[in-house]
Amino acid sequence: MNAIGPVEPGEGTAVPRPAGRRPGTGRDRRPTALRRRPLAAALTAALLLAAGVCLYATRPDVPSPAPPTPPAPSQLPFPAQVVDVTFVGPHAPPPGAAPQFFAFELLLSVDAGPEVTVTRVSQPYAGMSVATAPRTPFRTRAGAARTIVITLHVTECETVPENDGLPFLDVTLRNTRAIQEQSFILGPRYAHALSRALQVACSNDSG
Amino acid sequence: MNELPQQLVNGLLLGSMYGLVAIGYTMVYGIVQLINFAHGEIFMIGGFGALTVYLYVLPDGTSMWVALPLMLVGAVIAAVLVAVGAERFAYRPLRTAPRLAPLITAIGLSLALQQAVWAWYPGAKESINFPEIAGGPFEIGSVTIQTGDVFLIVAAPISMAILAYFVMKTRTGRGMQATAQDPDTAKLMGINTDRIIVVAFALGAAFAAVGAVAYGLKYGQVQFRMGFILGLKAFTAAVLGGIGNIYGAMIGGLVLGLAETMATAYIADIPGFDQLGGQSWANVWAFVLLILVLLFRPQGLLGERVADRA
Amino acid sequence: MRQRSLIAITAALAAGALTLTACGSRDSGDKGSDSGGTTVVIGVDAPLTGDLSALGLGIKNSVDLAAKTANKKNYVDGVKFEIKALDDQAQPSSGQQNASTLVADKDVLGVVGPLNSSVAESMQKVFDDAKLVQISPANTGPALTQGANWQTKKERQYKSYFRTATTDAIQGPFAAQYVFNDAKKKKVFVIDDKKTYGAGLASTFTAEFKKIGGQVVGTDHIDPDTKDFSAVATKVKNSGADVVYYGGEYPQAGPLSKQIKASGAKIPVVGGDGIYDPTFIKLAGANSAGDLATSVGAPVETLASAKQFVADYKAGGYKEEYAAYGGYSYDAAWAIIEGVKKAVEDNDGKLPDDARAKVTAAVQNVSFDGVTGKVSFDEFGDATNKQLTVYAVENGAWKAVKSGTFTG
């Protein structure tokens, strides 16, 4: 409770700590002032430190706002970025074809860039094969769209799932920039059509 | 293939780590009746201490055989310094304050330490990789033991033995027992209780540091939040074994680790429990076990050894 | 004396804390004053601290880059863009608070974020009530746009919610197709973290994997707070699975992959965009080679626009990586900027009074070439550009192995 110290120095209490005393300052100051000094020093140090830390912490992320370089002039696009393949619908099979063969119409379009060549169309299952009309490779210009017909042939029903939820075609595309294999997931209508065709194809195996 | 042996080993390993950390909770509680919630962060600091030695003190490519003892030393030094500092500046001024004050201080300290490491340790905003001991896993029958786990298998029993010797045989250890029983009388008998309390904090921190090195080796990473959940688990283990009892801490840790592992492995196979199994339910089952134990043995598995003070 | 030193320390700490607080607000204090025109704030909500901060900071910086680019180009006449980034710590409760904070700031005309689907669930209604447009660069839960019954009956949930990322409805099945057909793995052990994102992804994966003939030999759910997955790893090993699918994020996926391999099961771990981060490889260690992740979008190196973004990002001097969602965040921010531009142009060069509603309506109809390709939104608020890529860990880095386009 007597933390402030005596107002008048009592005998022996007024002796300032030798280390903390500077010439000419000790005598006329009360001991409290002396003892406050470390506190003040600590506060100042803490403030300085905090200010320093905060200046450091909030220093601008961007040292010099480097100008974002203007968009590079037309770099050639990768083929998969400009080609779109969409499902149109089932294609009537040639008369007399076995149910193991069925066909779909797709629309392939090229948005921009150089001419794109389709070099291969495949699907992932071992028990099924795919052929296209026109035959691969075929080319499509930018801005053009063409209908292609894929004919699927089921050879082994066991290895082909009948209700694949997300069937896709792997299409290998080439332009002057790159060759890319892209999976085109043709969506729920294709999944539905494929699943129905597979059920027909695989219901009467005798053919 | 029977997976029971492997799951038992998994559980014992996890439990040993809980036990190493639980010792700190139980010793501090036994002597000053304080639940030191910052202990999980002391554990974390130990992990970072070991990492600091590896990353910034030792030259690159030091063999783990050389590095590991030094890292252990670094971990212990870091953890002990922080623990003793916490005792001196956060807990000692509050020793005569109501019980809740130091408890809340402990929680605050825990957050402060976490955030301090997060803010100032380079790269600690994400998990940091911990060095690994090279060499393939050891196969003993159908049980696989990782090289990183070998440290834990060796270190946990040795630590326990050292602790038991220290508490039972040395002067300071007996002083600790006396202080735990009755601090006022102990003081009258000439025991420097302030020193004893510091020793308790330091010892607890040292064991947590050993646990932290084991954690780093086992999981290959440390992160600023690693002490939070593990600290809670270790505290649970200490209560399960009987808080205040150093053997209880280790037993409680082992039981807790086994319970969690068994729950993960087998609960889902019980008919009708398939929704209540799996690792996400392991904590629930561990706490069910804790509640059951406390219902029938409120003093924990081994009970508090120190005499109950009124 | 003890009392005194305690007081001294407390005072020093308090002073320090006050100084820090003061300097924390300096940032926002001196900004608005130096521009003559209107200031529009783009809010950002993402985990800026914690385990997922690598992704969150990438989002924040990318939005910042978009705002700066728009200012530099003077893209919207008389409007200066600023960002206001709030940290949601990947917690739905924080997300909701942040949403309320952003709604309360009248200068905020659009929000980019959040990262986590579970956080988005807590924010959607707050923004919708305020007609404030929200575009997430990373949410993949299908229910956010198409309703809980999205598999049978799609229904738009909130008119103000959009996203630039592809949904799990495609991502999970695409992973299943790759694992089954290309990686030739037939027996899977499925693990998730029970969160909206992880559990959703795991279930779309599982459904497709079963449909195409795969076998699920075990499932487990993990607790994202722990790091000990040894019990689960032992279960995986004994299940005889030849692949593990994990629905969740990299802070858990990395250690999980590491511990599964350590248990002796040398099988790949497969996950979604939540594990597609360099940190995953760091955490999973050397044995992670062959682990797979699907992520939204085409590989950056095949997109000219993305290269530009990467260069600008580097030039911007940001301390953190743009991470998995940088491009999507930039596009999300740019969609808001386009929306503001439209609203301003329709109102004789001034912000309309009901700017928020006008911007929301405009965002529905935006169409521009963004970092990740063409950006526009369908009737549910989902991105119309749905590309995704399978990445594999090779030599300590993610490498694209297969890309797909959804055209349904």
Surface of A (23-42) touching C: CB under 8 A? 35, 38-39, 42
Of C263 and A31, more confident: C263
Helix (H, G, I), strand (E, B) or coil at C376: coil
C83: enclosing H helix or E strand: strand C79-87
Residue A2's φ and ψ, nearest 5 degrees, are: -95, 45
Interface residue of C302, C388, C402 to substitute, partner A, most A CBs within 10 Å: C302
Q: Does A78 touch chain C (CB under 8 A)?
A: yes
Residue A93, min C-alpha distance to chain C (Å): 23
Band the pLDDT of B306: cuts 50, 70, 90: very low
Are residues A48 and A136 both part of a single domain?
A: no
Of B230, C265, B232, C247, the residue nearest B222 (C-alpha) = B230
How much is the pLDDT for A38? 60
Domain spanning C168-296+389-405: which CATH class is it, in words? alpha beta
Computed over every residue of chain B, the mean pLDDT equals 89
Band the pLDDT of C44: cuts 50, 70, 90: very high
**pLDDT tens readout for residues A34-46:** 455 665 666 666 6
Q: Does A1 touch chain C (CB under 8 A)?
A: no
Q: Which residues of C touch A164 (CB under 8 A)?
A: 208, 211-212
Q: Does C13 touch chain A (CB under 8 A)?
A: yes
Query: Is a pLDDT exceeding 60 seen at residue A15?
Result: no
Domain holding A182: CATH number? Answer: 2.60.40.1230
Distance CA C357, CA C105 (A): 15
Residue B177 falls within a domain, yes or no? yes
Q: Which residues of B touch C90 (CB under 8 A)?
A: none
B165 CA to centre of own chain: 19
Closest B-chain CA to C226: B229
Is there a contact between C174 and C222 (Cβ–Cβ < 8 Å)? no
Are residues A46 and A118 both part of a single domain?
A: no
Are residues A36 and A125 both part of a single domain?
A: no
**pLDDT tens readout for residues B251-288:** 999 999 999 999 888 887 787 777 777 778 888 888 88
Query: Is a pLDDT exceeding 60 seen at residue C34?
Result: no
How much is the pLDDT for C396? 92
Which residue range forms the structural domain that includes residue B237?
Answer: 4-125+139-296
Are residues A30 and A121 both part of a single domain?
A: no
Are residues A112 and A177 both part of a single domain?
A: yes
How much is the pLDDT for C153? 85
Residue B265 burial by Cβ neighbours in a 10 Å radius (0-12, 13-18, 19+): buried
Check A47 against C15: CB less than 8 A apart: yes
Distance CA C254, CA C283 (A): 5
Q: Does C68 touch chain A (CB under 8 A)?
A: yes
Band the pLDDT of C408: cuts 50, 70, 90: low
**What is the C-alpha end-to-end distance of chain C, expressed in Å?**
77
Task: For residue C37, give every residue at least 6 positions away whose Cβ sits within 8 Å of its Cβ, in sequence order, or none.
Answer: C78, C79, C80
Q: What is the DSSP string of C323-362?
A: TTTHHHHHHHHHHHHHHHHHHHHTTTTS--TTHHHHHHHH
User: Who among B129, B144, B280 is closest to C223 (CB)?
Assistant: B280
Closest C-chain CA to A159: C213
Task: For residue A132, give every residue at least 6 positions away whose Cβ sits within 8 Å of its Cβ, in sequence order, or none.
Answer: A118, A121, A148, A149, A150, A151
φ/ψ region of B123 (left if φ > 0, alpha if ψ in -120 to 50, else beta) reads left
User: Who among B14, B127, B129 is closest to C251 (CB)?
Assistant: B127
Closest C-chain CA to A32: C4
Residue C194, min C-alpha distance to chain B (Å): 8
Ranges of H-type helices in A58-176: 79-82
User: Who among C19, C177, C403 is closest to A51 (CB)?
Assistant: C19
Check C20 against A54: CB less than 8 A apart: yes
Residue type for position B89: F
Residue type for position C364: Q
Are residues A158 and A88 both part of a single domain?
A: yes
Residue A186 falls within a domain, yes or no? yes
Is there a contact between C368 and C336 (Cβ–Cβ < 8 Å)? no
**pLDDT tens readout for residues A139-167:** 999 888 899 999 999 888 888 888 788 88
Q: Which residues of C touch A67 (CB under 8 A)?
A: 72, 315
Q: Which residues of B touch C6 (CB under 8 A)?
A: 93
Are residues A145 and A179 both part of a single domain?
A: yes
Which residue range forms the structural domain that includes residue A40?
Answer: 26-57
Is there a contact between C145 and C168 (Cβ–Cβ < 8 Å)? no
Residue A134 falls within a domain, yes or no? yes
Are residues A37 and A102 both part of a single domain?
A: no
**pLDDT tens readout for residues C299-336:** 877 887 888 899 999 999 998 888 888 999 999 999 99
Check C264 against B137: CB less than 8 A apart: yes
Across residues B60-85, what is the average pLDDT? Answer: 92
**pLDDT tens readout for residues B241-251:** 988 888 899 99
Query: Is a pLDDT exceeding 80 seen at residue A68?
Result: no
Q: Which residues of A touch C387 (CB under 8 A)?
A: 80
Q: Which residues of C touch B260 (CB under 8 A)?
A: 231
Distance CA A172, CA B79 (A): 59
Residue A137's φ and ψ, nearest 5 degrees, are: -80, 145
Q: Name C111's bridge partners.
A: C43, C134
Residue B9 falls within a domain, yes or no? yes
Chain C residues contacting B, CB < 8 Å?
2-3, 6, 9, 49-51, 53-54, 193-194, 219-223, 225-232, 234-235, 237-238, 251, 254-255, 258-259, 262-264, 279, 282-283, 285
Helix axes B193-219, B39-52, angle to 10 degrees: 60
C92: enclosing H helix or E strand: helix C92-104
Are residues A37 and A132 both part of a single domain?
A: no
Check C264 against B282: CB less than 8 A apart: no
Percent of chain B with pLDDT over 70: 97
Check A65 against C68: CB less than 8 A apart: yes
Residue C217's φ and ψ, nearest 5 degrees, are: -95, -5
Q: Does C8 touch chain A (CB under 8 A)?
A: yes
Of B17, B11, B10, the residue nearest B144 (C-alpha) = B10
Are residues A49 and A84 both part of a single domain?
A: no
Cis (ω within 30 of 0) for the bond into C268?
no
Distance CA B37, CA A96 (A): 81
Percent of chain C with pLDDT over 70: 91
Residue B215 burial by Cβ neighbours in a 10 Å radius (0-12, 13-18, 19+): buried
Query: Is the ipTM beyond the 0.90 threshold?
Result: no
**What is the C-alpha end-to-end distance of chain B, expressed in Å?**
55
Check B265 against C235: CB less than 8 A apart: yes
**pLDDT tens readout for residues C380-395:** 999 887 888 999 999 9
Residue A154 falls within a domain, yes or no? yes
User: Who among C228, C238, C263 is closest to B14 (CB)?
Assistant: C228
Is there a contact between B67 and B58 (Cβ–Cβ < 8 Å)? yes
What own/partner pairs with CB < 8 Å and gap ≥ 24 does B228-233 have? B228/B40, B228/B41, B228/B110, B228/B114, B229/B40, B229/C225, B229/C226, B230/B17, B230/B18, B230/B21, B230/B40, B230/B43, B231/B21, B231/B37, B231/B39, B231/B40, B231/B41, B231/B43, B231/B110, B232/B40, B233/B18, B233/B21, B233/B286
Check B10 against C6: CB less than 8 A apart: no
From residue C127, alpha-carbon distances to B133, C56, C95, C360 in Å are 51, 20, 11, 11
Distance CA B177, CA B163 (A): 13
How much is the pLDDT for B20? 95
Of A67, A68, A170, the residue nearest A119 (C-alpha) = A170
Task: For residue C59, give every residue at least 6 positions away whose Cβ sits within 8 Å of its Cβ, in sequence order, or none.
Answer: C44, C46, C112, C113, C115, C137, C138, C323, C325, C326, C329
Residue A12 falls within a domain, yes or no? no
Residue A189 burial by Cβ neighbours in a 10 Å radius (0-12, 13-18, 19+): middle
Distance CA C194, CA C201 (A): 10
Sign of the Cα pseudo-torsion (B27, B33, B36, B37, in order): positive
Task: For residue C113, give every residue at least 6 positions away whose Cβ sits within 8 Å of its Cβ, in sequence order, or none.
Answer: C43, C44, C45, C46, C59, C88, C134, C136, C137
Q: What is the DSSP string of B76-126?
A: HHHHHHHHHHHIIIIIGGGTTS-THHHHHHHHHHHHHHHHHHHHHSTTTTS
Q: Domain total for chain B? A: 1
Q: Domain total for chain A? A: 2
Cis (ω within 30 of 0) for the bond into A137?
yes
Q: Which residues of A touch C12 (CB under 8 A)?
A: 42-43, 45-46
Cis (ω within 30 of 0) for the bond into C142?
no
Residue B225 falls within a domain, yes or no? yes
Using alpha carbons only, what angle is made at residue A194 by residues A191 and A198, rounded to the nearest 5 degrees? 135
Q: Does A122 touch chain C (CB under 8 A)?
A: no
Same fold, C38-165+302-377 and C168-296+389-405: yes
Residue A123, min C-alpha distance to chain C (Å): 10
How much is the pLDDT for B141? 81
Query: Is a pLDDT exceeding 60 seen at residue A206?
Result: no
Partners of chain B (3+ Cβ pairs below 8 A): C
User: Who among B129, B146, B229 is closest to C225 (CB)?
Assistant: B229
Across residues C61-81, what is the average pLDDT? Answer: 93
- Give the architecture (CATH level 2) of C38-165+302-377: 3-Layer(aba) Sandwich (3.40)
Across residues B1-27, what is the average pLDDT? Answer: 90
Q: Does A72 touch chain C (CB under 8 A)?
A: yes
How much is the pLDDT for B163? 92
How much is the pLDDT for A61? 47
Q: Does C184 touch chain A (CB under 8 A)?
A: no
Check C227 against B132: CB less than 8 A apart: no
Q: Which residues of C touch A161 (CB under 8 A)?
A: 211-213
Check C230 against B129: CB less than 8 A apart: no
Computed over every residue of chain C, the mean pLDDT equals 87
Distance CA B226, CA C51 (A): 11
Residue B266, min C-alpha distance to chain C (Å): 10
Are residues A184 and A103 both part of a single domain?
A: yes
Check B219 against C6: CB less than 8 A apart: no
Domain holding B8: CATH number? Answer: 1.10.3470
pTM over 0.80: no
CA Rg, chain C, in Å? 22
How much is the pLDDT for B299? 85
Helix (H, G, I), strand (E, B) or coil at A131: strand
Q: Does C174 touch chain A (CB under 8 A)?
A: yes
Across residues C241-253, what is the average pLDDT? Answer: 94
Residue A8 falls within a domain, yes or no? no
Is there a contact between A169 and C405 (Cβ–Cβ < 8 Å)? no
Closest A-chain CA to C12: A43
Band the pLDDT of A56: cuts 50, 70, 90: low
Residue C258, min C-alpha distance to chain B (Å): 8
Sign of the Cα pseudo-torsion (A25, A27, A29, A33, in order): positive
Residue A62's φ and ψ, nearest 5 degrees, are: -105, 105
Residue B221, min C-alpha distance to chain C (Å): 7
Domain residue spans of chain C: 38-165+302-377, 168-296+389-405
**pLDDT tens readout for residues B25-71:** 999 998 888 889 999 999 999 999 999 999 999 888 888 888 999 99
Check B279 against C223: CB less than 8 A apart: yes
Computed over every residue of chain A, the mean pLDDT equals 73
Distance CA A119, CA A113 (A): 17
Helix axes C230-239, B246-266, angle to 10 degrees: 30
Interface residue of C10, C190, C219, C234 to substitute, partner B, most B CBs within 10 Å: C234
Is there a contact between B175 and B196 (Cβ–Cβ < 8 Å)? yes
Q: What share of chain B is helix, strand, coil (3-state, %, to 5)?
A: 75, 5, 25
Query: Is a pLDDT exceeding 90 seen at residue C292?
Result: yes
Name the least confident of A20-29, B197-206, C26-35, C106-115: C26-35
CA Rg, chain B, in Å? 20
**What is the C-alpha end-to-end distance of chain A, expressed in Å?**
105
Q: How, if at all, do strands A145-154 and A101-110 pair?
A: antiparallel
Q: How, if at all, do strands C79-87 and C38-46 pair?
A: parallel
Surface of A (142-181) touching C: CB under 8 A? 159, 161, 163-166, 168, 178, 180-181
Residue B132 falls within a domain, yes or no? no
Are residues A197 and A144 both part of a single domain?
A: yes
Query: Is a pLDDT exceeding 70 seen at residue A49?
Result: no
